Amino acid sequence: MKKWLFCLPLATNALFGMVSRTEVNVSDRWNIEDLYATPDVWQKELSSIATNSTTPYFPELSQYKGKLHESVENLQKTIVTNFALERKVTKLGLYAHLRHHEDMANADAKADDEKISRLIQDLIQETAWIQPEILSLPEKKFTEYLEHPLLAEYRTLLLKLYEQKKHFRTEKEEELMALALSAMGTASRTFSALDNADFQFGQVQDSTGNWHELTHATYLLLLQSEDRVLRKNAFMAMLNKYSEHENSLTELMAGTVKSHLFMAKARHYNSCLEAALKPKDIDPQVYYSLIEAVRSRISLYHRYLKIRKTALGVDELHSYDLFVPFIPEQNRRYSFEEAQELVIESVKPLGAEYTKQLAKGIKSDRWVDRYENKNKRSGAYSASCYDSMPYILMNFSGDLHDVFTLAHESGHSMHSLLSRQNQPYHYADYAIFVAEVASTHNEELLHKMLVNRAQSDAEKAYLIDQRIEEIVGSIFMQTKLAEFELFVHQAEEKGIPITAKLLRDKHEELNRFYNGPDLVLDPEAGIGWSRIPHLHKNFYVYQYATGISAALSLSDGVLNGTDLDRERYLQFLSAGSSDTPLEILAKAGCDMRTSKPVHRALDRFESLVYELEQLMQKISAREEAPSCENG
């Protein structure tokens, strides 16, 4: 079952107040009406698809069940009918999901989202027979079918399916596993409900006694404050809320991991990691190589933390000191319109057509839901289906981080748009493994443009530090989480009970290694794992690190290479899933089958750290130099 693509929840900030959804200007909302004019229209479309009140809900598919061996025509009609239904249901699902995320306390929107989720599960259940029946075809007949002109456009898809033959079960077993999917997602959905709707973080005081509202969206904004008391209070209040529910959150994590292990065993994989990566054509060695490469050069991050500690002038560096800018006076504000123009200008190296389509999307077509409102889902993502514009959810507050978030999500959206413009439905969704490449690539284009335009050493230092922080978050911190995720799954595989103490101890151990001697580890940081939603997504976080590694390599070609380098990158954006993700990247000039791209990214990080050191020394020397005055 194909799904609309949701990518990259990022922490964002609130500046415009917690207004209700109905108070948000239409121009600031995404154009959800382009999908369905009203919820009533959506409901009518839903009713037209799910016409039966009892099984089979989709009789147009069931008529071919048990008949694929009879003719290639039956197989072709099954595939066409299946994809047509998927296409309609995913469009319905996207609309319901977007409405739910506009206001997660809206009972009607929540009910519609649950309704379409059940329909999706029904479709998965009723189509569970298709793959086993295809795989049960005698090899000779399968080969004959594969060479038939009727199936020419599905050849790659069918070959990939056949390669996974040993991991599929009988029809009845596949049906049972499909039935189990919804139940096994309960832990993840419960975490999301707690995190986005139920948890209330209250208010925190600054050093002057003023109170500030603490939400997911304001959290990073408060950690960027020059007021260290406010930063500390926000950090403690946020993590203490998770500590209050540590045992429940542990059980939810254990439930997620148990579901992953169930599916791994049911599919005859040797491990949860293999079960998560192999079906996506990713060698698990990519995961291990990432961890090994980052661990081997962790001293680069420790070197950066020394710079931060010195620049802040603190005796002890704490976790709540990691986001405040070195040079506060450079922390200017941006309107959303200014952010749009910067992002559009930065992508011009990708050509006039790319730039034109992006500008139209974020300026006039209303791809973007811009600002936070009450009960809106936190973070940011790009979401779309084959028959929609690529929507962007944001909680824009106006700092530089939000400008980069817009560049990031715009990269996703253009990747989705170009893939769908150039691929048929069944090859249009690109693999999650390559999803982070386009987004981080556009961040790199924006960063280099802003550095080249910097008017002073202070501004350049500020921008370089911001880029360093992005690489820290994407490579070092996500690799740390990837290690944590691997540990938890391996513990479950070995029968080791997943307890709150086990998770806290492991997270603290990894914090000590990754952050080094210059960061004081506050006890509250041990619960930090529990607020990461992507740890419920089955080996997702490592792709931030592999994605930025590929992006840094490819962006260098776009900016400093030839027209062919740019064209190969645009072909990568247009490839969808027409080949394996590793092969698609290799054709673009980045071979992730080796650790070279990760080391190239770490080389880039090292050069940025060195440049920052030089700039900070120049700024410091200038500040300490005696002034000359005429007396």
Catalytic residue numbers, as ranges: 409
Mapped onto helix, strand or coil, the DSSP state of residue 352 is helix
Q: What does the H/E/C string look like for 169-200?
A: CCHHHHHHHHHHHHHHCHHHHHHHHHHHHHCC
Q: What does the H/E/C string look like for 404-445?
A: HHHHHHHHHHHHHHHHHHHCCHHHHCCCHHHHHHHHHHHHHH
**Kind plus residue range of the DSSP H or E element containing 447:** helix 432-453
Spatial CB neighbours of 362, under 8 Å, sequence gap ≥ 6: 340, 343, 344, 368, 392, 406, 410
Residue 538 DSSP class: S
Give the residue carrying structure tokens 């994407």.
474
Spatial CB neighbours of 389, under 8 Å, sequence gap ≥ 6: 31, 34, 361, 365, 367, 417
With beta carbons less than 8 A apart as the criterion, state whether 392 and 398 touch: no
**Kind plus residue range of the DSSP H or E element containing 318:** strand 317-318
Long-range Cβ contacts of 578-582 (<8 Å, 24+ apart): 578/156, 578/423, 578/427, 579/156, 580/281, 581/280, 581/281, 581/282, 581/430, 581/431, 581/433, 581/434, 582/281, 582/282, 582/283, 582/286, 582/433
